[in-house]
Structures are given as C-alpha cells and as structure tokens.
Amino acid sequence: MKIRKAVIPAAGLGTRMLPITKSMPKEMLPIVNKPVIHYVVEEAIRAGIDDILIITGKGKRAIEDYFDRSFELEYYLRERGKVNELRQVEEIGEMVDIYYVRQKKPLGLGDAILYAEKHVNEEPFAVLLGDDLIVSEKPGIQQLIEVAQCYSSPVIGVEKVPRELVDRYGVISGTELDRELYEVHNLVEKPSPQEAPNNIAIVGRYVLTPEIFDILKEIPPGKGGEVQLTDALRELAKRRKILAKLISGKRYDIGTFEGWLRANIELSKNGGGLR
C-alpha cells in the first residue's frame, strides 16, 4: 500500500475560534512565525507525501496565497539583499505540489472529504486535520502510514484523553491487538462522558481507502446535522478490518485557544520547529 497523497480539509468555519476567524481562516492562525497549516503540510512532506489536496471553502483564499509564489515580495527582498528572508519565502512556494478544491456548502468533515474523490483516484490516502498539531520525532501521519502498509487496512490516529473531554472528539472502541494498536469495532462522534465507551479519542490523522467515498454518499447527516467522517468509519468497520493506532508524540489541540496558546509558548522555545 503506497501512500503519496494527502488531503487536508480546511473548509470549516472555525466557530470555536471566533471572533478572530470571522475574517481569517483558522488554518492561518500563527504558531510562532508560521500558520498552523504550514506545520501540517510539513508533517505530510516529512512522511513522504508528494501530493496534497486542500479542501477549502468560502473565505479561505489566504491559504492559497500563502503557499503560492509571491513575485512582488521576492523582488522587493532581492533588491534589498534580504537573502535569508527571500530564501524562506521562496521555499514556501516550492514545498510540494498543492491542489485545491472548494467545498460548496459547510456540510461537515465527511462531506468535505467527498470532494477528494476524483483527486485521490482509487489510491489510499492520508488525511490530516489542522486542528491537531503533533510534535514528534516520527511524524504522526507516518506512524499511521507504517501500520496501514503493514496490515493493508485503513488506520485512525487516536490518543487517550481525560474522560471529561471525550465530547470534543470521535471515540473508538475495539480490541487491543498490540500495546498501541486496536482493531476498531465501533466509533461514536462526540459522545457525552457518560455514553462514551472509553476515552480513546480520534485525533485528526487518518489513512483511508477509497471505499470511504461510497459510504460517505450513503450515510445521513449525524451529530450537529453534519455528514460525519466518524459515522462513515463506523459503517466501514462493519464491512472490513480497520485499525486505530495511539500516536506517540505531543499533541496540541489548536481548535481551542488554550491549546493554541500552549503550542505557541512551547514551540517558541525552539524557534517554531516541529521536532
């Protein structure tokens, strides 16, 4: 199972981060000197991905501008001999092949993933959500890719979270195959702490296979009236083996102000690097 394509859904409205996200994509919030999505793209590249599809939506053009070349800025920096700044700006424009597609209506993560169907073209693919920043020696998504390749199965990234926080996440239940690996039997999107089967939460990393698209087209809207990827994965788990892997490394929940601030404070100590 060769995985060279990644999908980064970035169409969400960012309501948890209002009012800053009223006029700015949440993916462009800074972590030290780079936007969140830059770190996510870097993680994918470090894991060997060479083709990235970003699912955007209304008000997300700043993301495309960020990864594009900026000839005016490059000219300005070159003229003034600002060599380091020039190199930094040029590198962003040449990181990897990035493609864009726009989600037409904000119908949820599951619906956003459906927009990737044509692009992934029958290949297994990685999904990285910008709400989770993972700092680890081995990139979080690579940890999943290795399991997917070994077992030829879709893999979901998970982490044990305090029980009172499970209602922020999708939660899996299954059989433990190994110390950090589960075979998934059931998944619930944002259960209350009382309903949750356990505290094994989905973090925003997945390796999926194209079978997910047909399921996403069939399932009704779930939690919050949105088409949920978690619901599609529950259906997929009935049809074939899917795995969940505890991701090692430090995760920051960038979808909350607290997590975002903590990431900024801790990463500023090493100059904004990922490792």
Q: Which residue of 43, 111, 132, 231 would you call a contact of ligand G1P, by CB under 6 A?
A: 132
CB of 137 to ligand G1P, least distance (A): 22
CB of 145 to ligand G1P, least distance (A): 18
Q: Which residue of 14, 154, 204, 222 would you call a contact of ligand G1P, by CB under 6 A?
A: 204
CB of 203 to ligand G1P, least distance (A): 5
CB of 62 to ligand G1P, least distance (A): 20
Q: Which residue of 11, 36, 126, 129 would you call a contact of ligand G1P, by CB under 6 A?
A: 129
Question: Under the criterion CB under 6 A, does residue 202 sit at the interface with ligand G1P?
Answer: yes
Question: Under the criterion CB under 6 A, does residue 7 sit at the interface with ligand G1P?
Answer: no
What torsion, rounded to 10 degrees, do the Cα atoms 32, 16, 55, 236 define? 120
What torsion, rounded to 10 degrees, do the Cα atoms 89, 91, 94, 99 define? -60
Question: Using the 8-state DSSP alphabet, how is residue 271 labeled?
Answer: T
CB of 90 to ligand G1P, least distance (A): 32
CB of 44 to ligand G1P, least distance (A): 16
Question: Under the criterion CB under 6 A, does residue 131 sit at the interface with ligand G1P?
Answer: yes
Question: Under the criterion CB under 6 A, does residue 182 sit at the interface with ligand G1P?
Answer: no
In the stretch 85-124, what mask flags binding to ligand G1P with x, by CB under 6 A? ------------------------x---------------
Question: Under the criterion CB under 6 A, does residue 27 sit at the interface with ligand G1P?
Answer: no
Do the Cβ atoms of 39 and 27 come closer than 8 Å?
no
Angle between helices 140-151 and 36-46 (to 10 degrees): 40
Question: Using the 8-state DSSP alphabet, how is residue 112 labeled?
Answer: H
Helix, strand, coil shares of the chain, percent, nearest 5, are 40, 25, 35
Q: How far apart are CA 171 and CA 181, in angstroms?
A: 15
The pair of three-digit structure tokens given for residue 27, joined into one six-digit string: 């993916």
Site for ligand G1P in 211-250 (CB under 6 A): 228-230
Site for ligand G1P in 139-158 (CB under 6 A): none
Q: Which residue has the tokens 């599809």?
A: 53
Q: How far apart are CA 133 and CA 97, in angstroms?
A: 21
DSSP character string of 34-91? EEHHHHHHHHHHHTT--EEEEEE-TT-HHHHHHHS--HHHHHHHHHTT-HHHHHHHHH
What torsion, rounded to 10 degrees, do the Cα atoms 45, 112, 257, 166 define? -100
Site for ligand G1P in 28-67 (CB under 6 A): none
Q: Which residue of 189, 206, 245, 263 would you call a contact of ligand G1P, by CB under 6 A?
A: 189
- Mark the segment that binds ligand G1P (CB under 6 A) among 79-87, 127-135, 177-185, 237-245: 127-135
Rg of the chain, C-alpha, whole Å: 18
Q: How many residues bind ligand G1P (CB under 6 A)?
A: 15
- Using CB under 6 A, list all residues that contact ligand G1P: 109, 129, 131-132, 169-170, 189, 201-204, 228-230, 255
